[in-house]
């Protein structure tokens, strides 16, 4: 008979043994007998160090949002991080004993699965139980969506059934073998979880650390955007924004002299989530051409950036204050999603510019902003995407954007020079699906991404 351990005991086990190999090879029966109450299960989801943080930084590290000097590169602690920065095909994740994004992802998924099992096993019912269930479903979806941007190819409807997706673990039983689903199945599960969560979640939670109904709509908008389903992405972005009115910050009242100007929990944060803290992203060094793309009356130029004594542009606009890069579902992203989706639809350039102007009015010095206009959907789309680039720096969104833009023919080539050696990443290169940690391949036998 399999052993049973409590979730709290297992939580201590995870805290001191964060290695993914130990985690995945644990052979106890994780269909847990405790906790017994709704409050206990809510407490599990409120363990924010496991549920809200440690979203993957691999995509941001691989993106062109920032750069490293040769000195920065040499100072990186792990060879795997250096390999990730230069887009090497393999060995880009530190060992599980040191912690990596794969183990953090599946640890958080385990928590959601354990809560969902406990609620059903203990027949916990009522509004509070529904709330907890909705949070667990949405958290699981958020983690799978984050993971899909790192370890899967860009979504193409015509090939998604043949592409490799993620191991979809929907049960806390550790004895279930890991098998990679198709990419279509992965996205279908994300959508299924979010759709199921919506009617269970309240419009407002006691904190943005907890999933809410507008957060679930926001994640659906992000999911459909990545999939290229712009009608459904728009619908969900608008539904989210309807539930969070007056949710844009006015940058005119942000103190740009502060080292990190934004409050950790600002009014734009709908669901708070943070990437792994990485020293090479804190503060990030921003390419000069990005900095120069901001108008002098655009307050983001001072709120987002500082210039050090060697003339380098440093990013300080983290929506997480001094705690590092965030992947928060936020109102500004939703305005940009809606604007982009309108721009991609026929006969709606004015609607696209209206959404964009509502955002930009809050970003420019009072009295200086002249609303933007576009004469065609193509012109509107170009304008919106330029602003998306400027607004969402170091937010974990550039990597999936690069993948979907190149999928659609943007032909963006990334280049880096490190210690005199040049590296490049071509559009739709297999390395856009980052290598799964080799120890996971050895342990589970799942197929590695094509190299």
State the CATH number of the domain containing residue 219: 1.25.40.390
Crossing angle between the packed helical segments 127-151 and 398-407, to the nearest 10 degrees? 60
Cα separation, 111 vs 155, whole angstroms? 27
Dmax (CA) of the chain: 72
- Has residue 362 been placed in a domain? yes
User: What is the per-residue pLDDT across 91-104, written as a single tens digit (0 to 9) for each?
Assistant: 999 998 888 999 99
Cα separation, 242 vs 131, whole angstroms? 20
Contact 310, 363 (CB under 8 A): no
Mean pLDDT of the chain: 92
Position 25 scores a pLDDT of: 35
- Mean pLDDT value of segment 126-149: 98
- Has residue 254 been placed in a domain? yes
Q: Based on the structure, what is the number of domains in the chain? A: 1
User: What is the per-residue pLDDT across 102-137, written as a single tens digit (0 to 9) for each?
Assistant: 999 999 999 999 999 999 999 999 999 999 999 999
Cα–Cα nearest to 449, from 31, 76, 5, 89: 89
User: What is the per-residue pLDDT across 262-288, written as a single tens digit (0 to 9) for each?
Assistant: 998 899 999 999 999 899 999 999 999
- Has residue 446 been placed in a domain? no
- Mean pLDDT value of segment 176-183: 95
Position 58 scores a pLDDT of: 98
- Has residue 233 been placed in a domain? yes
Position 22 scores a pLDDT of: 39
- Has residue 185 been placed in a domain? no
**What range does the domain containing 226 cover?**
210-271+283-317+329-394
Q: What are phi and psi of 42, to 5 degrees?
A: -60, -40
Whether residue 19 is predicted with pLDDT greater than 50 in this model: the reply is no
Cα separation, 275 vs 326, whole angstroms? 5
- Has residue 228 been placed in a domain? yes
Cα separation, 416 vs 380, whole angstroms? 31
Position 24 scores a pLDDT of: 38
Q: Which residues of 191-216 are buried (b: 16+ CB within 10 A; e: fewer)?
A: bebbeebbebbbeebeebbbbbbbbb
User: What is the per-residue pLDDT across 395-451, written as a single tens digit (0 to 9) for each?
Assistant: 999 999 999 999 999 999 999 999 999 999 999 999 999 999 999 999 999 999 999
- Has residue 256 been placed in a domain? yes
Whether residue 323 is predicted with pLDDT greater than 90 in this model: the reply is no
Position 164 scores a pLDDT of: 98
- Has residue 337 been placed in a domain? yes
């Amino acid at each position: 008979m399999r052993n049973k351990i409590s979730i709290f005991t297992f939580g201590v086990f995870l805290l001191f043994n964060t290695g993914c190999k130990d985690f995945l090879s644990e052979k106890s029966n994780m269909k847990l007998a405790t906790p017994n109450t709704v409050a206990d299960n809510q407490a599990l989801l409120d363990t924010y160090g496991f549920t809200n943080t440690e979203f993957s930084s691999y995509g941001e590290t691989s993106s062109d949002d920032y750069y490293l000097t040769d000195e920065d590169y040499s100072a990186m602690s792990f060879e795997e991080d250096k390999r990730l920065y230069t887009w090497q095909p393999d060995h880009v994740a530190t060992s599980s004993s040191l912690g990596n994004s794969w183990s953090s992802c599946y640890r958080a998924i385990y928590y959601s699965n354990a809560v969902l099992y406990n609620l059903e096993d203990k027949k916990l019912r009522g509004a509070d139980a529904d709330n907890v269930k909705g949070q667990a479903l949405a958290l699981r979806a958020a983690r799978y969506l984050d993971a899909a941007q790192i370890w899967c190819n860009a979504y193409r409807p015509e090939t998604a059934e043949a592409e490799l997706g993620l191991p979809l673990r929907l049960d806390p039983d550790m004895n279930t073998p890991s098998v990679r689903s198709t990419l279509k199945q992965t996205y279908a599960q994300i959508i299924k979880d979010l759709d199921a969560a919506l009617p269970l979640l309240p419009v407002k939670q006691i904190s943005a650390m907890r999933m809410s109904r507008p957060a679930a709509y926001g994640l659906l908008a992000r999911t459909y955007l990545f999939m290229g389903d712009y009608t459904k992405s728009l619908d969900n972005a608008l539904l989210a924004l309807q539930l969070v009115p007056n949710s844009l910050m006015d940058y005119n009242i942000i103190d740009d002299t502060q080292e990190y100007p934004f409050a950790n929990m600002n009014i734009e944060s709908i669901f708070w989530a943070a990437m792994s803290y990485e020293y090479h992203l804190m503060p990030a060094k921003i390419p000069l051409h990005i900095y120069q793309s901001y108008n002098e009356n655009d307050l983001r130029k001072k709120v987002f950036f500082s210039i050090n004594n060697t003339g380098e542009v440093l990013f300080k606009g983290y929506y997480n204050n001094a705690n590092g890069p965030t992947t928060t579902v936020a109102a500004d992203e939703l305005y940009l999603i809606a604007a982009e989706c309108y721009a991609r639809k026929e006969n709606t350039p004015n609607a696209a510019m209206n959404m964009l102007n509502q955002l930009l009015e809050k970003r420019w010095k009072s009295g200086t902003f002249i609303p933007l206009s576009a004469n065609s959907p193509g012109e509107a789309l170009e304008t919106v995407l330029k602003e998306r680039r400027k607004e969402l720096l170091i937010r974990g969104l550039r990597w999936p954007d690069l993948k979907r833009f190149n999928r659609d023919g943007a032909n963006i080539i990334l280049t880096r020079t490190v210690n005199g050696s040049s590296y490049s990443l071509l559009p739709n290169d297999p390395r856009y699906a980052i290598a799964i940690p080799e120890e996971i391949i050895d342990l589970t036998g799942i197929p590695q991404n094509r190299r």
